[in-house]
Amino acid sequence: MEQERCHLMDSIDVKYIHLISARLEKYKRVKPNLYNFRCPICGDSKKNKSKARGYIYSAKRDANFKCHNCGAGMTFNSFLKTIDVGIHRQYCIEKFKEGKTGKSHITNEPKFVFEKPKFSQKISLPLCSEVEIASTYLKNRKVDPTKFYFAENFAAFVETFREVSHKNLRQEPRIIIPLYYDKTLVGFQGRSLNSKSIKYITVMLKEGAPKIYGLDNIEKDSRVYITEGPFDSTFIRNSIAMCGADADVAEWGICNPVFIYDNEPRNREILNRIGKTIDSGKSVVIWPLHIKEKDINDMVIAGHDVENLIKLNTYSGLEAKLKFNNWKRYE
């Protein structure tokens, strides 16, 4: 115990470990000076998703990283720089203020360089889990706040992208939903926290890119579930959200889609889309009549097992037409 007390991890290291913890899958504090998570460098075990072989540990007060899957090892300073350059810069400045940088320390002194403004091609924002207002909003809806970002000033955030016209955008907080294709940021949606504002604003950075959330995270050879909203898609394995798009998903390599529309039998637009989906021979979810909630997110909040509901109520062909006709007549 005395030896452990002598080698307590530096408080600034501990602070920044906690700061990035939401980004580390299966993160947990094993004991003082020892943290465990799935390695973000190699992705950890591909066969067993429950294995976590990445560690941050203390050696004579200095924090270090080690992965027992890929063998990567480095100081926490280097690991943090790999995870997030922006947070790493803040870390270096704090170390500098405490006199813990330079030749006798593992953290280099920060470079204070004034550069010309650069236009972003990535999202340099805090995760929603790091911002109380956004985290509370998403947790109340049972949505994972580590999956999205938060912009305090949406108009200012959009200005960081040179290609985008940002006229008439309001300076308001929004949840940022990233759209990736081939590991490249091709656009994003801003989701309003204010019921009086436009609910979603979509900004595309690359012409012709798919306006789809989650496209890089699915197994395209398996059954893929297609929802209307990004939040809904987070509750279903191997799913994407169309984000207002109306494209042929086969164009993006999806061969076995199941379309999930909102539970609104009086909405003529939804009725038309379901009818066209059935006529094209694709599978569709027809919600059972006892379900009153409008969408998947509301169903989750109400306590329904949505994955089981979807599995039991997926139809195609003649059976889909019969179920659809019964559903749309329901008052």
- Residue 191 one-letter amino acid: R
- Asked if the structure places residue 23 within a domain, the reply is yes
- Single residue among 173, 204, 235 that ends a domain in this structure: 204
pLDDT recorded at residue 48 = 86
Same structural domain, 228 and 310: yes
Dist. CA 16–CA 95, nearest whole Å? 11
pLDDT in tens, the chain (331 residues): 334 444 678 888 999 998 888 889 899 999 988 999 999 888 888 888 889 999 999 887 789 999 998 888 999 988 988 888 778 888 888 887 776 554 445 555 555 554 544 445 678 899 999 999 999 999 999 999 999 999 999 988 988 886 565 566 888 999 999 999 988 999 999 999 988 888 888 888 888 888 899 999 999 989 999 999 999 999 999 999 988 766 678 888 888 999 999 999 988 889 999 999 999 999 999 999 999 999 999 999 999 999 999 999 999 999 999 999 999 876 5
pLDDT recorded at residue 197 = 83
- Asked if the structure places residue 111 within a domain, the reply is no
pLDDT recorded at residue 1 = 37
- Single residue among 204, 232, 257 that ends a domain in this structure: 204
pTM of the model: 0.62
CATH code of the domain in which 294 resides:
3.40.1360
- Residue 248 one-letter amino acid: D
DSSP-derived secondary structure for 9-64:
PPHHHHHHHHHHGGGSTT-EEEETTEEEE--TTT-S-SS-TT---EEEEEETTEEE
pLDDT recorded at residue 102 = 46
Same structural domain, 318 and 222: yes
- Asked if the structure places residue 112 within a domain, the reply is no
pLDDT recorded at residue 166 = 59
- What's the Cα-to-Cα distance from 317 to each of 250, 255, 265, 279, 310, rounded to whole Å? 19, 17, 19, 8, 17
Same structural domain, 228 and 291: yes
pLDDT recorded at residue 59 = 81
Closest by CA position to 54, among listed 70, 75, 33 = 70
Same structural domain, 160 and 227: no
Closest by CA position to 199, among listed 240, 155, 243 = 243
- Asked if the structure places residue 104 within a domain, the reply is no
- Asked if the structure places residue 227 within a domain, the reply is yes
Same structural domain, 197 and 238: no
Q: Look up the domain containing 323 and give its range.
A: 215-328
Same structural domain, 305 and 240: yes
- Asked if the structure places residue 107 within a domain, the reply is no
- Asked if the structure places residue 169 within a domain, the reply is yes
| Distance, first Cα to last Cα, the chain | 69
Region at 14 (left for phi over 0; alpha for psi -120 to 50; beta for the rest): alpha
